[in-house]
Amino acid sequence: MRVSAALPDFPWDTLAAAKTLASAHPDGIVDLSIGTPVDPTPELGQRALAAAGDSPGYPQTAGTPQLGAAIAAYLAGRWGAEGITAAATLPVIGTKELVAWLPTLLGLNQDDLVVVPRTAYPTYLVGARLAGCRSRAVDDLAELGDQRPTMVWLNSPSNPTGEVLSAPVLAERVRDARARGAVVVSDECYGEFGWEAEPTSVLHPDVCGGDHTGLLALHSLSKRSNLAGYRAGFVAGDPVLVEELLAVRKHAGMIVPRPVQEAMTVLLADSAHVDEQRRRYQGRRKVLRPALTAAGFRIEHSEAGLYLWATRDEHGRASVDHLARYGILAAPGDFYGEAAASYVRLALTAPDERIAAAAARLS
């Protein structure tokens, strides 16, 4: 049996023709289709990685005690998560890996229902398919009738839309999921970049009432610290669920390399580099957003995160082709579900010069 047969086509493979068209622009392509960081990894992290380069032994799946303490301190200090201990945290090999394997790691199967947002990061559904689960794309669990999901995904700030769910909305969704007996998994990987709204963690007492039972929060250093190449993230929350994940990951050999753990430890304790990166993205946003609106696009949501969610009230693929004629490559909304088909997502993860080039072409 081929596992890949149960999976959708890899979305970005469908952009080959548009990429060829955009690449033909005399001034070269401006690739805004994917959110891969382009700015330097902070020297603080590079030095920690290099200092731990002599690592002949196997690292700890649970992470070093110092890393566990750093994660707990970060969640408490930055996100107001009360009562998180190192034992309730677990480093992962990039959060995409965890998103894709989480249903499997928690033992879900064909009898289980996974709920994802109506407009959502496609790997949530990939994870459900890998585990053989059923899935539904809804924002309001009332749409499920009397169905009882096993896992409910939340994503704030949203990828792709940049929508931020307020603490009261998050609290309501957590209550609804708990009433149905579901585990709630909150993808918070873009939380450091709020522009017009301040993101809230599902682990904040205003959301969960100080009780982390049945809750998991995912965080990444890819965007926060330009660490995508290191594959560095973590999950935290319900200590019982984290312990189960740790037990399975030990058997599966899912271990973050020790040098990466050391880099994570020092970067989680530092906010200066995050502030610097936030200023970079904010500057690019101020250049690209008005250029898009002047060119006939309407920006929706986008109050946080690293993307602009735009539409011309046509199919997103038509907008992709339109932008490609200007040498700009965007991601079509249908990557993220049927409800998003009339949108495109444009990333701010391009050098200042390329963002400026895109803005100049659009004007």
* pLDDT score of 4: 55
* Radius of gyration of the CA atoms of the chain, in A: 20
Query: Is the predicted pLDDT of residue 5 greater than 60, yes or no?
Result: no
pTM: 0.94
Q: How confident is the model over 147-200, as pLDDT tens digits?
A: 999 999 999 999 999 999 999 999 999 999 999 999 999 999 999 999 999 999
Cα 237 to the center of its chain, rounded Å: 17
As a whole number, the mean pLDDT across the chain is 96
CA dihedral of 141, 142, 146, 152, whole degrees rounded to 10 = 0
What's the pLDDT band for 13 if we cut at 50, 70, 90?
A: confident
Q: How confident is the model over 348-360, as pLDDT tens digits?
A: 999 999 999 999 9
Q: How confident is the model over 16-32, as pLDDT tens digits?
A: 999 999 999 999 999 99
Query: Is the predicted pLDDT of residue 344 greater than 70, yes or no?
Result: yes
Identify which has the larger pLDDT, 11 or 150. Answer: 150
Q: What percent of the chain has pLDDT over 70?
A: 98
Measured between alpha carbons, how far is 135 from 236 in angstroms, rounded to an integer?
A: 24
* pLDDT score of 11: 75
* pLDDT score of 14: 87
Cα–Cα distances in Å, from 65 out to 68, 91, 238, 265?
A: 5, 11, 18, 10
Q: Report the pLDDT averaged over residues 214-224.
A: 97
Cα–Cα distances in Å, from 323 out to 30, 352, 361?
A: 10, 18, 10
Q: How confident is the model over 53-95, as pLDDT tens digits?
A: 999 999 999 999 999 999 999 999 999 999 999 999 999 999 9
At 141, the amino acid letter reads L
Query: Is the predicted pLDDT of residue 1 greater than 60, yes or no?
Result: no
* pLDDT score of 3: 61
Helix axes 258-268, 65-79, angle to 10 degrees: 30
* pLDDT score of 173: 97
* Domains, the chain: 3-40+273-362 (3.90.1150.10), 43-270 (3.40.640.10)
Query: Is the predicted pLDDT of residue 48 greater than 60, yes or no?
Result: yes
Q: How confident is the model over 276-293, as pLDDT tens digits?
A: 999 999 999 999 999 999
* pLDDT score of 6: 62
Q: Report the pLDDT averaged over residues 109-116.
A: 97
Query: Is the predicted pLDDT of residue 7 greater than 70, yes or no?
Result: no
Query: Is the predicted pLDDT of residue 45 greater than 70, yes or no?
Result: yes
Comparing CA positions, the residue from 162, 299, 165 lying closest to residue 223 is: 162
Query: Is the predicted pLDDT of residue 12 greater than 90, yes or no?
Result: no
Comparing CA positions, the residue from 212, 186, 213, 214 lying closest to residue 201 is: 186
* Coil vs helix vs strand at 251: helix
Q: Per-residue b/e over 185-199, b at no fewer than 16 CB within 10 Å? A: bbbbbbbbbbbebeb
Terminal Cα-to-Cα distance of the chain (whole angstroms): 51
What's the pLDDT band for 10 if we cut at 50, 70, 90?
A: confident
Query: Is the predicted pLDDT of residue 324 greater than 60, yes or no?
Result: yes
Helix ranges (DSSP H) in the chain: 16-23, 43-51, 65-79, 95-105, 123-131, 167-179, 205-208, 239-252, 258-268, 272-294, 316-324, 352-362
Strand partners, 217: 186, 236
